[in-house]
Amino acid sequence: MIGLRHILSVATMVLSGQAVALTPLPPCEGEESGMFVYGARYFGTEDSGFVIEGYRNLDKDGVVGGAPGPLSELDNFNGSRIVDCGSGHFVALHGAYGEIEKVLGATEFLRGKIQVGKRFGIADVRKAARAVYGDDAFVRMVNLRETEETCACRDFFPGQWK
């Protein structure tokens, strides 16, 4: 009987290992435009045209985020960014992590629009970010524009890039 339990245990481990091996990697995780992006998801609603993702410097010599940024404004950057997939404009927030979409979405600049499914723009996102993080000494806000469609925008909102 012990032999049968052992065989069933090994079979269960093998089968569960195969299920993990078949799970696809998250989309759009890795280097993009000289930065490391990860954890992309919708920002606002599923039809907002905005995505949010983790955003930090590339690794260098074993140091996470140790490489310089593609622009001096992005040196020593580790945080999140919110991208308008139609225009490529984005708000990068160094030092801001977690459920930023909930925090920004609760501001007067976004809450009402998100609740009723009304379109909002990058200016609304910037106002919300300034309201939440403007006086925070640990969060730095950078406003930039991508010159090419981001991977997350291509996956979440195909065809919106202008």
Q: Does residue 48 surpass a pLDDT of 60?
A: yes
- Among the listed residues 25, 12, 157, 20, the one whose alpha carbon sits nearest the alpha carbon of residue 88: 157
Residue span of the structural domain in which 42 resides: 26-156
Q: Is residue 14 a part of any domain in this protein?
A: no
User: Considering its fold, how many domains does the chain have in total?
Assistant: 1
d(CA 117, CA 48) in angstroms, rounded, equals 8
Q: Is residue 18 a part of any domain in this protein?
A: no
Q: Is residue 129 a part of any domain in this protein?
A: yes
Q: Is residue 2 a part of any domain in this protein?
A: no
Average of per-residue pLDDT across 6-33:
57
Average of per-residue pLDDT across 56-76:
94
Average of per-residue pLDDT across 12-27:
49
Q: Does residue 16 surpass a pLDDT of 50?
A: no
Q: Is residue 51 a part of any domain in this protein?
A: yes
Q: Does residue 135 surpass a pLDDT of 90?
A: no
Q: Is residue 9 a part of any domain in this protein?
A: no
Average of per-residue pLDDT across 76-97:
96
Extract the tokens encoding 83. 């991208």
Q: Which residues pair with 27 in a beta bridge?
A: none
Q: What is the mean pLDDT of the chain?
A: 87
